[in-house]
Amino acid sequence: MFRAILFLILFTSLAQAQDGRPYDYTQEENPLLPHSLQTPGALTYPPPSISEMCSREFKKKIHEIPQELKQKVFEAYGIDISKSNLYQIDYLITPEVGGGNDIKNLWPQSLTSKPWNAHMKDRLENHLHREICQGRMSPNHAQTLLTLDWIDSYCIIFEDMTTECLDYRKKRK
């Protein structure tokens, strides 16, 4: 119970820059987090059951993001398509936990920023999917962890990036 309350407190606090203004990570050259208005997240409808989500066939059913949709995402974020090799069009809420293939759920996630990049988020997504399939987490909880601040969620779940997590949280204060 205490951990759940602590988790809610962390996610409801506003990130602030050193001068007290709200800090917006989405305005960086390689946004660490998606623009919340541009990419609020979207779910698959109808939602898959847990047994469907956890079946081997489910991953095969996930449709690849069409090139035309990827182009729209880059345009929406003001990123020149010539730099597309530096990004992965990623799901805010991965389909493996019920996320939809919708522009409201897609953003250009950096492949090159260190340490927070698409590869680190993939690790979190895979962990959350396993937790759902092993009955230790609801899809709704996993979706919330990805939507609010995937980096902070990573820091709460994993203990391998202590210094990087502290640095990230310092920037948020």
Positive/negative CA dihedral, 125, 127, 132, 133: positive
Residue 14 lies in a domain: no
pLDDT for 10 beyond 90: no
- Report pLDDT for 62: 76
- Angle at CA 50, nearest 5°, toward 48 and 54? 100
Q: Are strands 87-91 and 106-110 parallel, antiparallel or unpaired?
A: antiparallel
Residue type, 44: T
* Percentage with pLDDT > 90 across the chain: 58
Residue 35 lies in a domain: yes
The partner residues of 163 in beta bridges, in order of sequence, read none
Residue 88 lies in a domain: yes
Residue 126 lies in a domain: yes
Q: In terms of pLDDT, which residue wins out, 82 or 171?
A: 82
Residue 163 lies in a domain: yes
pLDDT (tens digit per residue) in 151-173: 999 999 998 999 999 998 888 76
Q: In terms of pLDDT, which residue wins out, 17 or 108?
A: 108
The domain total for the chain is: 1
Residue 15 lies in a domain: no
Question: Which residue range forms the structural domain that includes residue 33?
Answer: 28-172
Residue 117 lies in a domain: yes
Residue 23 lies in a domain: no
* Neighbour-count burial of 51, counting CB atoms closer than 10 A to its CB (0-12 exposed, 13-18 middle, 19+ buried): exposed
pLDDT for 64 beyond 90: no
pLDDT (tens digit per residue) in 20-61: 334 344 445 556 889 888 899 999 888 899 999 999 888 777
